[in-house]
A = this chain, B = another copy of it.
Amino acid sequence: MGTIINGREKAKETREEIKNFVADRIKASKRVPSLATVLIGEDGGSISYMNNQTKLCNELGLIPKNIKLKEDVLESEVIKLIHQLNEDYSIDGIIIQLPLPKHLNEKNITSAISHKKDVDCLTDINMGKLYKGEQSFIPCTPQSILHLIKSTGINISGKNAVIIGRSNIVGKPTAQLLLNENATVTVCHSKTVNLKEICSNADILVAAIGRPGFVTREFIKEGSVIIDVGTSMVEGKIAGDVNFEEAMEKAAFVTPVPGGVGAMTTTMLMKNTCEAMMRNAY
């Protein structure tokens, strides 16, 4: 019987660290980190994300700066705003809520963010640094995944890590982070032929494909660590990529959905904002 990796609990620990960090800054009469969030239009998911971020900023002592722009704002105006935020010494991190309204070019807009304030790791420069193994912001989901794997206490070096999914925001950067930790890393995807066989040799298995319950007992190696990044909606409930009960039968550690990876990501955004402040050092 496996052990549940409790994402909510781990997130709470990290939040305590951030709280203490901010409290120490206040005691020392230093300024506290600030996160600017740009919301364009009225996307329900984005509004909910922004509200969560604001709430967490307030809880931890960071300063949230929310900027709402109209649905029909010109691209040039958005970019001008981002440049102002880049220059603004009171802002440490910048988040643009995605998806954007259709008339706006996501690439043009995210590229305008200074790589020094790109706490979501959307710019080419930060992505390049991440792959070179240089100091860079680590995107929040992969960072949460690595944190939860490490929280089990296993030694990642030399382990076979298999990632199902190769997105730019989850699969590829997670592969890179595990490679940096000296895992032997395999990236699988929709064209992979012998998926079950490959997964069943994985000491660490990360599922990030968005197919509810796809990973069943035959995919799972005895005593392994299973990280479920799936967040599909099934009958009004959030569902992971892993069959949780079957995973718990064979694996040593399993993240639940909800309460696993997803429970950590906004906390990691706060952590990145603190890091941005320390790195930019003003």
A residues within 8 Å of B by Cβ?
Answer: 123-134, 157-160, 166, 168, 172, 175-176, 179, 182-189, 191-194, 198
Which of B183, B191, B194 makes the CB contact (< 8 A) with A182? B191
Which of B134, B157, B172, B194 makes the CB contact (< 8 A) with A131? B172
Bound CA span A185–B172, Å: 11
Residue of B nearest to A171 (CB): B179
Give A281 Cβ to nearest chain B Cβ, in Å.
Answer: 19
For chain A, what secondary structure do more than half of its interface residues adopt (helix, strand, loop), or is it mixed? mixed
Contacts of A184 in B (CB 8 A): 186-189, 191-193, 198
Copies in the complex: 2
The reply to whether A193 and B158 contact each other, CB–CB distance below 8 Å, is: yes
Bound CA span A170–B124, Å: 19
Bound CA span A209–B130, Å: 22
Give A85 Cβ to nearest chain B Cβ, in Å.
Answer: 21
Contacts of A131 in B (CB 8 A): 127-128, 131, 168, 172
Give A10 Cβ to nearest chain B Cβ, in Å.
Answer: 26
Contacts of A129 in B (CB 8 A): 124, 128
A-B contact pairs, 16 of them (CB 8 A): A124-B125, A125-B125, A127-B128, A127-B131, A128-B128, A128-B129, A131-B168, A132-B168, A157-B191, A158-B191, A158-B193, A175-B187, A182-B189, A184-B187, A184-B192, A186-B186
Give A205 Cβ to nearest chain B Cβ, in Å.
Answer: 14
Q: Contacts A168-B132, A172-B131: A158 and B192 contacting too (C-beta < 8 A)?
A: yes
Give 4 new A-B contacts, CB below 8 A, not counting A128-B130, A185-B187: A123-B128, A179-B189, A182-B189, A185-B186
Contacts of A179 in B (CB 8 A): 166, 172, 187, 189
Which of B124, B176, B182, B191 makes the CB contact (< 8 A) with A132? B124
Bound CA span A193–B127, Å: 29
Contacts of A130 in B (CB 8 A): 128
Give A276 Cβ to nearest chain B Cβ, in Å.
Answer: 17
Bound CA span A127–B198, Å: 28
Give A158 Cβ to nearest chain B Cβ, in Å.
Answer: 5
Bound CA span A198–B184, Å: 10
Contacts of A160 in B (CB 8 A): 193-194
Contacts of A124 in B (CB 8 A): 124-126, 128-129, 132, 134
